[in-house]
Chains A and B, each alone.
Chain A
Amino acid sequence: MDVRAQISMVFHLDKCIGCHTCSIACKNIWTDRKGAEYQWWNNVETKPGTGYPTKWEDQDIYKGGWEKKNGSIDLKGAGKKKGLLNIFHNPNLPVIDDYYEPFTYKYLDLIESPAMDDQPTARPVSLITGKPIDIKMGPNWDDDLSGTPDYARKDPNLHDLSPAEQEAMFQLERMAFFYLPRICNHCLNPACVASCPSGAIYKRGEDGIVLINQKVCRAWRMCVTACPYKKSYYNWHTGKSEKCILCYPRLEAGYAPACMHSCVGRIRYLGVILYDAGQIENAASDETESLVDRQLNMLLDPFDPGVIEAAKENGVADSTIKAAQDSPTYRFVKEWGMALPLHAEFRTLPMLFYVPPLLPVMASLSKQDTSQGEKMDPIAKFWNDTWLYDTSTEDLWGTIDQARFPLKYMANLFAAGDEEKVKLVLKKLMAVRIHRRGITVGDIAPEKVETALREAGMDAETADAIYKLTSLAKFDDRFVIPPAHREQAIEMLEFTGDTKGSIGFGFKENAERGL
């Protein structure tokens, strides 16, 4: 057992309000620079939709990720042979128009304009050429545009839904959407790392953060092609590729990453998960249906004495093991089995997990009743009509089975196509709601609550714990950040005695003093 520590993330999609605060926080800190304007290390996209860059999930176009080959895996569009053959033109690289041409407005024209008959206008200018442009697209151009032919209906995840199912999904009365915030997944089997011809990308040993060494990067852009999530970006100004760094300078100081810290919906969780690195290759090269299970099986119980011992042997710090035991992500992913990886079929073993959204599934239109009548039950505070949102719990899992969204769509996103897996998670989410409603509203019979919990495979205690971590969690519950121990990490590379008496410690550039 090769136990390693990984800082992993969980995004609870039911809570995301699509405010893009996370994207702005990230942009302000990291990508508000020349050449990086078009990069959104954190972006929020509307699903169904084509996302950013457009259709990033369609690997027939972008050739990202791994594919199964002779019992093992091979990069789809990069790697040794393919990479060498295509190294000088990188045929599947996204172009700027696949993202969007970044722009700003000439605001100064509004202020400096002389008095005129007409109001001055601020023309849009390209942040690449500096010249006036027609704005063609933005990073969230299809925000909330579910149902549109150009965006929602071209969502690559619809590929194996029947035309009838797709049509039903986009009926006006049933139309629904949810938000999918994305950052780099800091994968266990990162395609970006494997594709880099310069060896510039590495996965940090102590916390698994995937980073690009800016001094070694030689602008081959193979990582841009290889990352199936399109989370490695090329900076045309510096000539280096860049990606989400999970705010490692903040993590090392004990702060949560900026996107997580600022998240309005408090949907984000971060914590350490211990995993068995020895299983990576086998897990990543298994059949598509078993990919999610194999990945979850790699994640180890941090309370298991055997795991702890092996972790210590591998140099995982005690404080990190403690953080793993307190980890909210471990609970969501492993203990409760409520979070699933995004597009496991890309085989990069992503370590950002999503709790699938219940709402677009749950509320359904079962019966038209034009008489409307008394809509709100004055005591129980639930909709007593069935003309719009049917959230009734008459028939326990009925709403999931006749969901507004075909489960297949959710399964394509979060379970490599396995509807049962998504259904199980949704049942758990539902069971917690039924349980809490039984307590707070009291309109559900205890037997019924019990049945719901039993069928979802949990007890009342677990349901309460889930409820607490979902709804009431404080900052320190959501983010359990292990101490960075940079002082130990540096000792693996350098003799610290050399710099004794000089300023600072850890992996820092020497301070520049004087002229």
Chain B
Amino acid sequence: MGKSFFILAFFSLILAGQVSAQAPSETEALFKLKCSICHTIGKGKLIGPDLNNVHQRRPEDWLLNFVRSSQKMIQSGDATAVALFEEHNKVVMPDPLISDAEITSILSYIGENSGAAVSAGPVASIIGDATPEDLENGQNLFEGRVRLTNGGPACISCHNDLSTAFFSENSYSVKDISQSFTNLGEAGVRAILENPPFPVMKQAFEGKLLEQQEVHDLLVFLKNSTPKSTAQAQTGLPSGFLLYGVMGAGALVLLISGFWYSRKNRSVNHGIYKRQIKSFN
């Protein structure tokens, strides 16, 4: 019994140490894992904003809350949070699901690495050389006709615009990704494909990450499919819609009443009945 207690205590200590005392390298790794997909420090905007000197732009409390759950803040109506959300095409920042201590260490990591803004040139495109074969292969990969080399699930199993059952309220996944390229740009989509940040997607691709060629082909496909989106976004009623409707209905009424003009439309006794004294109406 004593021996097992000792072993348990030993591991507990190790774990506790890991959580409480984050070595800088571990924080860096955590930043890479959780944040760098969407954010850079001083290298320009990716999906989310550049985090250079973020600790100076916003109060510490605000940052802590926002990272914990940006959606909660948006829902609670925080003006800055809402403005940010709007500015970034309403792309949801997933909750990182890490402890406050970890968030704090990441924030200080950002502070340490911030400096004078570095001019951020646009991230180089990797799909400039796309061929029709790449496009076709991308489509096949998306639709699951060709298996992903590392065994990851085909995109279509979730992004099918058909079923909501798979997605929980907190998963922040979208079924319809036809607008992804428009919203996120190549760099954003590429980052998601290379290292999925969203909880469900992350889980699904754990240890089954996409090969570089597959990322390339899928990017080509997504880029090309964007304008062909079948589910056209509603753009409001065309001008004059109501007017034409009313005019059309009027024309139909006229046509019908013209066609059946000579119909018998009231009782032949109408005149007599109208004169009669009524005790009921």
Residues of chain A touching chain B, judged by Cβ–Cβ distance below 8 Å, are 50, 53-55, 58, 61-63, 86, 89, 91-95, 97-98, 132-134, 136-137, 150
Contact residue among B260, B270, B278, B279 (Cβ-Cβ distance under 8 Å from A91): B260
**A98 contacts B268, C-beta separation under 8 Å:** yes
**B273 contacts A97, C-beta separation under 8 Å:** yes
**A93 contacts B269, C-beta separation under 8 Å:** no
Contact residue among A61, A86, A89 (Cβ-Cβ distance under 8 Å from B268): A61
B260, B272, B277, B278 interface centre (most CB from chain A within 10 Å): B272
Q: Considering the complex of A and B, which 4 residue pairs feature the smallest CB-CB distances, nearest first?
A: A91-B263, A97-B267, A54-B268, A92-B264
Report the Cα distance A82→B270, complex, angstroms: 27
Report the Cα distance A132→B270, complex, angstroms: 20
Residue of A nearest to B279 (CB): A134
Q: A61-B264, A91-B263, A92-B264 are in contact. Are A133 and B269 (CB under 8 A)?
A: no
Inside 8 A of A98's CB, which chain B residues have their CB? 267-269
Describe B's contact surface by its main secondary structure: loop
**A62 contacts B269, C-beta separation under 8 Å:** no
Inside 8 A of B269's CB, which chain A residues have their CB? 54, 97-98, 136-137
**A97 contacts B270, C-beta separation under 8 Å:** yes
Inside 8 A of B263's CB, which chain A residues have their CB? 91-92
Residues of chain B touching chain A, judged by Cβ–Cβ distance below 8 Å, are 260, 263-264, 267-273, 276-280
**B276 contacts A133, C-beta separation under 8 Å:** no
**B260 contacts A150, C-beta separation under 8 Å:** no
Report the Cα distance A86→B273, complex, angstroms: 28
Inside 8 A of B264's CB, which chain A residues have their CB? 61-63, 91-94
Report the Cα distance A63→B269, complex, angstroms: 17
Contact residue among B268, B278, B280 (Cβ-Cβ distance under 8 Å from A55): B268
Closest chain A CB from B150 CB (angstroms): 65
Inside 8 A of A95's CB, which chain B residues have their CB? 267
Residue of A nearest to B264 (CB): A92
Residue of A nearest to B267 (CB): A97
Report the Cα distance A185→B139, complex, angstroms: 79
Residue of A nearest to B259 (CB): A85
Inside 8 A of B260's CB, which chain A residues have their CB? 86, 89, 91
Report the Cα distance A54→B260, complex, angstroms: 22
Report the Cα distance A293→B272, complex, angstroms: 39
Residue of B nearest to A91 (CB): B263
Report the Cα distance A460→B273, complex, angstroms: 54
Inside 8 A of B272's CB, which chain A residues have their CB? 136-137, 150
Closest chain B CB from A85 CB (angstroms): 9
Inside 8 A of A63's CB, which chain B residues have their CB? 264
Report the Cα distance A137→B267, complex, angstroms: 12
Report the Cα distance A95→B269, complex, angstroms: 10
14 A–B pairs (Cβ distance < 8 Å), ordered by A: A58-B268, A61-B268, A92-B264, A93-B264, A97-B267, A97-B269, A98-B268, A98-B269, A132-B280, A134-B278, A136-B276, A137-B273, A150-B271, A150-B272
Contact residue among A55, A58, A61, A136 (Cβ-Cβ distance under 8 Å from B273): A136
Inside 8 A of B276's CB, which chain A residues have their CB? 134, 136
Residue of A nearest to B271 (CB): A150
Report the Cα distance A98→B270, complex, angstroms: 9
Report the Cα distance A61→B264, complex, angstroms: 6
4 additional contacts (CB under 8 A) given A53-B268, A63-B264, A137-B272: A91-B263, A95-B267, A133-B280, A134-B278
Residue of B nearest to A136 (CB): B273
Inside 8 A of A86's CB, which chain B residues have their CB? 260
B267, B269, B271, B277 interface centre (most CB from chain A within 10 Å): B269
Report the Cα distance A132→B279, complex, angstroms: 10
Report the Cα distance A97→B269, complex, angstroms: 7
Residue of A nearest to B272 (CB): A150
Report the Cα distance A58→B270, complex, angstroms: 16
Report the Cα distance A63→B276, complex, angstroms: 28
Report the Cα distance A95→B273, complex, angstroms: 14
